[in-house]
Amino acid sequence: MAQLMLTGNSIFAKDSADEPTHSDAQVELGRFLFFDKILSGNQNISCASCHHPLVGTGDGLSLSIGEGGRGLGMTRDTGSGDDAVVERVPRNSPALFNLGKPEFERLFHDGRVAVNPEHPSGFDSAAGMLLPNGLENVLAAQAMFPVTSPGEMAGQIHEGVAENDIAAAANAVPADIVSVWALLAERLKAIQEYIDLFQSAYPNNNIGNDGTGITFVLAANAIAAYEAHSWRADNSPFDRYLHGDDDAMSDSAKKVPHFLS
């Protein structure tokens, strides 16, 4: 079988633009937010419920189980009683590895959140002109939306009654996603530990001791920083070789089957 010898190529060399720019304090804030159920309407699900590190940051299900579900990964079920899942999420929960890399400019299978420098927010999304300014990257823009989805995190309607104020906003026609973000920010402002974390993560944002200045945009940026920092998998011998380290792989490893000849 024909063989193709890999050779180093400068186009793969790392540069400073490829390195994360978030602070340790921002990552720490994002870690708390990622695992905290306070970001869901009924406070019964967190980002980690469907993207848990123990199950590879995905869930292994063809259709994810959002708020009201129980368990992690493929063992997650639809719950029971008043808290049972009304509807499943109409897509799966993808893994988060390397999504903080700048090469990623579109997220979701249909690219519904995408970088667009011509949009006032910097991103195309289902929110249109309602998406606020200040989001640092497409991963942060994506983090704005699960909390607004009734089936994912916001909560649902039972017999015509919303389960909570966030669910009421999310289930309005049209959905009042701006109020969802504002209500979540108010929850965070009511917790002193979060005020301290936001002040440390964003020292230049003039966040007051009463939480003034905390927004869900800042929360989304922190969640994205945590995801980008924690699930960056680009240090294998092959990755290091592509980045210019000729000694990272042996000569035999550099030979790959040339299936296209």
- Dihedral sign from CA coordinates of 96, 133, 28, 182: negative
Confidence bin at 124 (pLDDT 50/70/90)? very high
Helix axis angle for 24-35 and 192-201, nearest 10°, is 140
Q: Which residue has the higher pLDDT, 233 or 258?
A: 233
The mean of the pLDDT values for the chain is 88
Evaluate whether residue 145 is within a structural domain: yes
Query: How far, in Å, are 52, 150, 164 from residue 35 at the CA level?
Result: 9, 19, 20
pLDDT at residue 165, rounded to an integer: 97
Per residue in 214-235, pLDDT (tens digit) is 999 999 999 999 999 999 888 7
CATH code of the domain covering residue 164: 1.10.760.10
Query: How far, in Å, are 32, 216, 220, 235 from residue 134 at the CA level?
Result: 21, 10, 10, 30
pLDDT at residue 261, rounded to an integer: 39
The residue range of the domain holding 50 is 21-231
Evaluate whether residue 85 is within a structural domain: yes
Per residue in 138-166, pLDDT (tens digit) is 999 999 999 999 999 999 887 788 889 99
- Dihedral sign from CA coordinates of 152, 155, 159, 162: negative
How far apart are alpha carbons 115 and 138 in whole angstroms?
6
How large a percentage of the chain has pLDDT more than 90?
65
**Structure-token match 């493929």, residue found:** 74
**Structure-token match 């990272």, residue found:** 248
Evaluate whether residue 98 is within a structural domain: yes
End-to-end CA gap in the chain? 10
Q: Which residue has the higher pLDDT, 22 or 261?
A: 22
Evaluate whether residue 81 is within a structural domain: yes
- Number of domains the chain is built from: 1
Evaluate whether residue 252 is within a structural domain: no
Per residue in 168-227, pLDDT (tens digit) is 999 999 999 999 999 999 999 999 999 999 999 999 999 999 999 999 999 999 999 999
pTM for the whole structure: 0.86
CB 34 within 8 A of CB 48: yes
Evaluate whether residue 10 is within a structural domain: no
